[in-house]
Amino acid sequence: MFDPGFPRDADSEGLSDEGQAYVTQTPPPRPAGFGSTVVKIALVMFAVEILIMLGFFWFEAQLPDWKIALVDASLLAVIVATIAYFVFIRPKDRQIRAVMAALEESRLDAENLARFDALTGVLSRRALLEAFDAEVERAKRYGSALACLMLDLDHFKTINDTYGHQFGDEVLHRIARVISEHCRTNDHLGRYGGEEFLIILPETRIDGATKFAERVRSAVAETSLDRNEEHITLSIGVAEWRNGDDSTSRLISQADRALLEAKAAGRNRIIANQPV
């Protein structure tokens, strides 16, 4: 599975001037373990006791027997606590840290499974629609440009029927990689369903999105599938967000209608849903 987050072509053709940087949030650091706190307290207490004893000896102070016994007991308690930490608490502390690390890794794995499509490595439909909602809200707030592409592999059923579904899965993975290599860092590429992909293009007008779609279509058409020099093509529908659109569903419907027109017109082509 390829990493969908690697740097991609930064071609800015079709962008408006309202681009904003995306901020990657990092998880907060884990709190220090309980065991390390215990040993620090024990060492501080031990140092204080030593200083007290040195002070008494320095000034040749005469201490009552009960005070000497109290100091000796305190030193003994500190020593016992330190030994107990290294023998009992520290190993448990390490085990707890290991369990916490394993749980964190499992949580991240679960998030990745929910966020990325297991077959192609691009965004899952759920994550894609969440990103789309966020981009529409940003376009509404700042009046920035936004376009989307609906892509469908032509005659993909024939590939499955001729070479089997395992080869069909390899084709989906390879085509997803080819498409991803042409996307910018702030674009969102996801698998919408079956052999359909959806690309969200922030800060992009319909003319720029159409030119981008042509680059993707040409790259896919030139990609060999390594099976009798087979090639596959794409039909692409393009749509642009318009001020007043309230939801992503309308924009997706426009791109989907344009895609159906491209299919009906003979496939391996691009149809843009021009604003009126």
CATH number reported for the structural domain that contains residue 178 in this entry: 3.30.70.270
Check residue 54 and give its pLDDT.
63
Q: Considering 115, 144, 160, which residue would you say is the last residue of a domain?
A: 115
Q: Are residues 136 and 253 in the same domain?
A: yes
Q: Are residues 138 and 260 in the same domain?
A: yes
Q: Are residues 203 and 266 in the same domain?
A: yes
Whether 5 is in a domain gets the answer no
- With residue 197 as reference, give the H or E element that holds it: strand 196-202
Whether 148 is in a domain gets the answer yes
Whether 206 is in a domain gets the answer yes
Residue 158 domain boundaries: 125-273
Check residue 32 and give its pLDDT.
47
Whether 6 is in a domain gets the answer no
Check residue 271 and give its pLDDT.
97
Whether 25 is in a domain gets the answer no
Check residue 4 and give its pLDDT.
44
Q: Are residues 38 and 108 in the same domain?
A: yes
Check residue 43 and give its pLDDT.
67
Whether 12 is in a domain gets the answer no
| Active-site hit among 195, 196, 230, 240 | 195
How far apart CA 107 and CA 73 sit, in angstroms, is 47
Nearest Cα to 173, choosing from 121, 113, 133? 121
Q: Are residues 201 and 232 in the same domain?
A: yes
Q: Is 195 a catalytic residue?
A: yes
Q: Considering 85, 115, 145, which residue would you say is the last residue of a domain?
A: 115
Check residue 10 and give its pLDDT.
38
Q: Are residues 189 and 266 in the same domain?
A: yes
Nearest Cα to 1, choosing from 130, 124, 125, 153? 124
pLDDT tens for 48-99 read 666 666 666 655 556 566 666 666 677 777 777 777 777 777 777 777 787 7
Q: Up-side HSE of residue 13: CA atoms within 13 Å toward CB?
A: 13
Parts of the chain with a pLDDT under 70:
1-43, 45-72, 107-113, 275-276
Return the axis-axis angle of helices 248-264 and 125-142, rounded to nearest 10°: 110
Whether 219 is in a domain gets the answer yes
Check residue 144 and give its pLDDT.
92
Our count of domains for the chain comes to 2
| 3-class SS shares of the chain: helix, strand, coil, % to 5 | 55, 15, 30
Whether 199 is in a domain gets the answer yes
125 CB-contact burial (10 Å; exposed 0-12 / middle 13-18 / buried 19+): middle
Check residue 109 and give its pLDDT.
62
Q: Are residues 143 and 189 in the same domain?
A: yes
Nearest Cα to 219, choosing from 191, 190, 188, 181? 181
Q: Considering 89, 115, 141, which residue would you say is the last residue of a domain?
A: 115
Q: Are residues 161 and 222 in the same domain?
A: yes
